[in-house]
A and B are shown apart, each in its own frame.
Chain A
Amino acid sequence: QQQVKQSPQSLIVQKGGISIINCAYENTAFDYFPWYQQFPGKGPALLIAIRPDVSEKKEGRFTISFNKSAKQFSLHIMDSQPGDSATYFCAASMGGTGGFKTIFGAGTRLFVKA
């Protein structure tokens, strides 16, 4: 019930193409679904996040689509650029006493070819 399943494991996209990464969760108590971006040698950093009361959130070239009934959400990167090459982690989180319980997906390595 605590897993977050992420696919694909790796992704190669041409510059200007659309990158799509999918995630699925099990526990309906999660109420915050962030995506983190990690560059080599750096810590993960929040890219975009969504709450389950909306079905889509867009920030620039990055869009989260959320399907509450299917317990799935995805990250779409439009007009992918070489600078987007990084590892992307989806996560599911819920608040509790003294912090947040956050479960991460296994990560997707994205490579955008110039």
Chain B
Amino acid sequence: DSGVTQTPKHLITATGQRVTLRCSPRSGDLSVYWYQQSLDQGLQFLIQYYNGEERAKGNILERFSAQQFPDLHSELNLSSLELGDSALYFCASSPSSGGGTGELFFGEGSRLTVL
């Protein structure tokens, strides 16, 4: 158990809809990262937050947005869903860089299926 909690574990929805994925980081971790893993694909970095502020953006579509709340949990919002958005979405957390090893702690993912 990594200590990172993601909900829901599975989600099936239709094209054009909007969904929200939720992540609770490990206790004490201030940084949250979102990754997308499509079938037979690697881990594509979407976005990173640190203590409520956006720190880095990767290949995140304009239809996607995220935020980190004062209690440090994070939400990834996916809108106007397309079939190609079907994927596993992982959240990871880490301590701040100072004194940290660089290890990311991943949740078990949210599997999104768009029909």
Q: Report chain B residues within 8 Å CB of A41.
A: 108
Residue-by-residue, is A69-94 near B (CB-CB < 8 Å gives 1, otherwise 0)?
Answer: 00000000000000000000100011
Q: Does chain A have a CB within 8 A of B18?
A: no
Residue-by-residue, is B5-40 near A (CB-CB < 8 Å gives 1, otherwise 0)?
Answer: 000000000000000000000000011010100000
Q: How large is the interface on A (under 10, 10 to 19, 20 to 34, 35 or more residues)?
A: 20 to 34
Which residues of chain B from 96 to 114 have any CB-CB distance to chain A below 8 Å in the complex? 96-98, 100-104, 106-109
Q: Report chain B residues within 8 Å CB of A11.
A: none
Instruction: State in angstroms the CA–CA spacing of A100 and B92 once bound together.
Output: 11
From residue B113, how far is it (CB to closest CB) to chain A in Å?
A: 14
- Give the most central of B41, B94, B102: most A CB within 10 Å: B102
Q: Does chain B have a CB within 8 A of A60?
A: no
Q: Report chain B residues within 8 Å CB of A49.
A: 101-103
From residue A32, how far is it (CB to closest CB) to chain B in Å?
A: 4
Query: In the complex, are the beta carbons of A97 and B109 less than 8 A apart?
Result: no
Instruction: State in angstroms the CA–CA spacing of A105 and B104 once bound together.
Output: 15
**Which of B4, B53, B98, B102 is the one whose CB lies under 8 Å from A102?**
B102
Residue-by-residue, is B75-109 near A (CB-CB < 8 Å gives 1, otherwise 0)?
Answer: 00000000000000010101011101111101111
Closest 4 CB pairs of A and B: A98-B50, A43-B106, A95-B97, A99-B31
Binding site for A on B (CB under 8 A): 2, 4, 30-31, 33, 35, 41-43, 45, 48, 50-51, 53, 55-56, 90, 92, 94, 96-98, 100-104, 106-109
